[in-house]
Amino acid sequence: LLKPAFDIGFNTLMLYRTLGVSGVTYTSGYMVAGFMAMRYLIPNFRQLQKNEYALEGRFRFIHNRIIEHTESIAFFGGDEVEHEVADGRWNKVAEHIRNAQVETLRFNIFNNFTIKQTPDIVAFALRMLYAQGYLNDQAVLTDGGGKVTSGGEYIQQTVMRSFRSFGEAFDLQETIGQFVGTLENVTDLMYTLEDISSQHDNTARNPSLIASDGDIVFEDVDIVAPGNICVVSNLNVSIHPGKPLVVTGPNASGKSSLFRTLGGLWPIPHGKIKRPANEKGIVTPKEVFLVPQKPYSVTGSLADQITYPEKIEKADRTAEKDQELLDLMTLVGIPYLVEREGGWDSVAKWEDVLSLGEQQRIGCARLFYHNPKFAILDEC
């Protein structure tokens, strides 16, 4: 923006020195009028870019969801329903792109007409205004008429340079708008990641979670689900190491909510929870380990499926460690996977390669590997 502004100011000064106030009035008036008209025609490139990213994200989400659940959709014969949903998302993306292109085309046409075509008329008018300063033939023929010609040409080129810089400033509107739209999406993502990172520190996030070296203790705890739905109120219970506890109840009664509150995923509006934690007050798999209802297969090798969230590099894995992992696989009844999948270092999309039962058994092997003080089996 500094270069077009400098060029416009410099060329305006040159016109003032050549033509006086009248020349500057013509060009400045035309630029102001063009600027006011363009303000109503310039699309909101920032918002257009943000909306395009949002619509594309929704379309990609439904597309990835179909890929993930292809087998279930095929079994239920839901291809027409899913196709309709995907088409609906895609139509919104296509409609937004078409509207954005129409607005951009309208802007470019007016911009081209205002900045590149019409200024020729203004430049010619100012050239004629300059020529009118020579009132008789004798004045015109001074220096063979070269002064009139060179002066008029100088004025015309100066006006064209001014409008060219004026057009460059408007062209920057689109570039800057798209850049700002992209930047806002990136900053929104960064803020979200920062929020998630801050939530990882359970003690700082929720002072009602108190570190303990032994038991898990709920003292007058209210468990409130998102949406301010109270699942349990004034819960008091003590869980001792080595003493199993079975939590029963109908579906949606809050059994999993109890585990989310214990892990610090949900805030505690009332009461306190004491649970084992590390020196930073954070619950780790060595203290409390959850085996969820839906198995989770990580991106990585077969060995990573057992050691997660720890990761042992191939160079650091000893024969004793391999044997330990094999013993765990034998314990849960799936030692054949090591040979079938090509060894501990084989990498695959495990949620597709392994059956649901094998994934559940690997989840149990992961539990035995970490050997926590407390294990939570959520319908495992």
The whole-angstrom separation of Cα 119 and Cα 162 is: 10
Q: What is the pTM of this model?
A: 0.57
Q: For residues 66 and 210, which has the higher predicted lDDT (pLDDT)? A: 66
Helix residue ranges, H only, the chain = 2-19, 21-41, 45-68, 70-76, 79-112, 119-131, 137-140, 146-200, 202-205, 255-262, 302-307, 319-331, 336-340, 350-353, 356-370
Task: Identify which of 315, 339, 313, 316 has the alpha carbon closest to the alpha carbon of residue 326.
Answer: 339
CA distances to 173, 201, 205 from 209, rounded to whole Å, are 51, 11, 9
Model confidence at 204, pLDDT cuts 50, 70, 90, reads very low
Q: Which residues pair with 274 in a beta bridge?
A: 210, 217
Q: Per-residue pLDDT tens for 124-153?
A: 777 677 666 665 565 555 654 556 666 667
3-state secondary structure of 276: strand
Is the pLDDT at 318 greater than 60? The verdict is: yes
Is the pLDDT at 351 greater than 60? The verdict is: yes
Task: Identify which of 219, 194, 213, 191 has the alpha carbon closest to the alpha carbon of residue 205.
Answer: 194
Q: Per-residue pLDDT tens for 95-120?
A: 999 998 888 888 778 777 776 677 77
The whole-angstrom separation of Cα 125 and Cα 22 is: 11
Q: Per-residue pLDDT tens for 166-202?
A: 777 766 766 777 777 778 878 888 887 777 666 555 4
Let me know: does 324 contact 300? Beta carbons within 8 Å.
no
